[in-house]
Structure 1
Amino acid sequence: MKLCFASNNEHKLAEVRQILSGQYEIVSLQEIGCHEELPEEQETLEGNSHQKANYVWQNYGVSCFADDTGLEVTALNNEPGVYSARYAGSQRNNLDNMQLLLENLAGKPNRRAQFRTSITLILDGRVHQFNGIVLGTIAETPDGEKGFGYDPIFIPDGFNQTFAQMRAEQKNSISHRGRALQELATFLKQHQS
C-alpha cells in the first residue's frame, strides 16, 4: 500500500519510514508534486494534523496521513504545545525554541512534560485519528546529537538519557510518534484484511 506522509520535515519523514519500513511505501509531499507549505492554522494538534491531511486529500486526491506534535510542559501551563515548532518565532529554529523553553523553566522545580502526537489518516476519503503520548522531564541542559526538535532536552520516564542520546530504534519504540504510528499501522493491517 502506498501512502503519502504529509510533511516537509525530512527528519520526521525518515523517522516515519523507519518505523513503517517493510509494511507500507511511504511517499513524500514532493513525490506527489506538492511543493507548497501546508496550512497549520488550528488551535489543537488534532486540528492541525486534520487540516494538513485534508489539504493533501482535497488538492491531490492521494490517501495520506499527517501529524502534529507538541511538547507540553506542566510548569508552563502545557506550553509550547501546538506552537512547539515556532515557540521562539516564525523562523522555526530548534535551538532558539529549546533556549527559550529552558529560560522560561529556570527556577521552576517541576520539570514534568509530555510529548504528544496526533496523526490524521485520510484513506479513500474517510478520516481516522490516532494519538501517542510519552511522559518525561525536561533536562537542565541539552545533551545528545541525535534526533531533532526538543529531543536534546527531553528525558522519557524510565530512562536517564535524552531522546537525542538514544539510538533511533530505541527512541522510535517508545516515542509519542512511534506510539501513534503503531496505532496507525494496526488500523491499516485490520483495514487490509
Structure 2
Amino acid sequence: MTRVVLATRNTGKIVELRRILAEARVPVDLVGLEEFPHIGEVAETGLTFAENSLLKAHAVAAASGLPAVADDSGLCVDALNGMPGIFSARWSGSHGDDKANLDLLLAQVGDVPDGRRQAHFACTAALALPSGEEHVVEGFVHGVLIREPLGSNGFGYDPIFVPDGETRTTAEMSAEEKDAISHRGKAFRALALIMGRVLA
C-alpha cells in the first residue's frame, strides 16, 4: 500500500482525508507530519491558494521521499475584492486567532448592505510526487455573510457564513453536513480520484 503524507499536523484534516479516500476506495496509507518530526513548517509565501498548496506538497515530498498532499484555503469576500483570501488565517495580524479575524472582518463589512454580502470559501489541494510530478484541484462553496456569529460546530469564519440554499451557518451544521458541501471536501474528493489513478 502506497504511503502518502498529508502536509499538516492537524488531526482533523487527516481524519477527513482518510474518510474521503476510503469512500473513494483509494488504498493508500495516509499519515500526517507528526510521523516526520524532522520536517519543519513550510512558509506559505505564495500569492495564491494553488502556489501555497504546491509549495507545501513539493517541500514535504522532497523531505519525506513520499507522495505528499497539501491544501490551502480561505474566505473570499466580494465586497473586499476577494480578501481575506490567502490571508484568512492571519487577517487580524496573528495566525489562527479566529475570534479576532472574525471580528475584524465583520467590522470591515459592517456598512455593506444585506444584498451585497456575497462570499465564498475556496480550497486548493495539491498532490506532489518525489519525481516532481504535480496535480492541483479546487473546491468552492458560495454563500453570504450574516451580521452576528451563529453556531459553535465550525471554526474560523464558519459562524458568519451561510451557504447558498441554506438557512444555517456552516457552524450550525453537523460535521457530516458540512463535509458534504465544503470547499475542502470538494477539493479532497477531486484529488482522491486523481490519487486513485496516479498512485495505483
Please report the TM-score for the alignment, with normalisation by the length of structure 2.
Answer: 0.89
Q: Structure 1 pair 121/162, CA: closer, same or farther in 2 (3 Å)?
A: same
Report deviation, 1:124: 4.4
Quote the residue 2:119 is aligned against: 113
State the alpha-carbon separation in 2 of the partners of residues 153 and 163 from structure 1: 8
TM alignment of 1:33-182, pairs within 5 A: 33-34=37-38, 36-109=40-113, 110-125=116-131, 126-182=133-189
State the alpha-carbon separation in 1 of the partners of residues 49 and 62 from structure 2: 20
Equivalent residues of 1:72, 1:80 under 8 A apart: yes
Report deviation, 1:48: 0.5
Report deviation, 1:111: 0.8
Equivalent residues of 2:123, 2:184 under 8 A apart: yes
Report deviation, 1:129: 0.3
The amino acid across from 2:51 in the alignment is G
Equivalent residues of 1:19, 1:172 under 8 A apart: no
Q: Structure 1 pair 123/8, CA: closer, same or farther in 2 (3 Å)?
A: same
State the alpha-carbon separation in 1 of the partners of residues 10 and 72 from structure 2: 11
Quote the residue 2:7 is aligned against: 6
The amino acid across from 1:83 in the alignment is F
The amino acid across from 2:47 in the alignment is E
> Aligned-residue CA RMSD in angstroms?
1.7
Report deviation, 1:107: 1.4
Bigger mean CA offset, 102-111 vs 13-22: 13-22
Which SS does the other structure have where 1:180 is aligned? Answer: helix
State the alpha-carbon separation in 2 of the partners of residues 192 and 120 from structure 1: 14
Report deviation, 1:34: 4.2
Report deviation, 1:35: 5.1
The percent identity for this pair of structures is: 39
The amino acid across from 2:4 in the alignment is L
- In the alignment, structure 2 segments of 5+ residues that lack a partner are none
Report deviation, 1:21: 3.9
- In the alignment, structure 1 segments of 5+ residues that lack a partner are none
Report deviation, 1:41: 0.6
Which SS does the other structure have where 2:143 is aligned? Answer: strand
- Aligned positions, number: 193
Which SS does the other structure have where 2:119 is aligned? Answer: strand
Per-residue displacement from partner, 1:86-110 (whole Å, max 9, x unpaired)?
A: 0001342011111111010101011
Over 4 Å off, 4+ runs: none
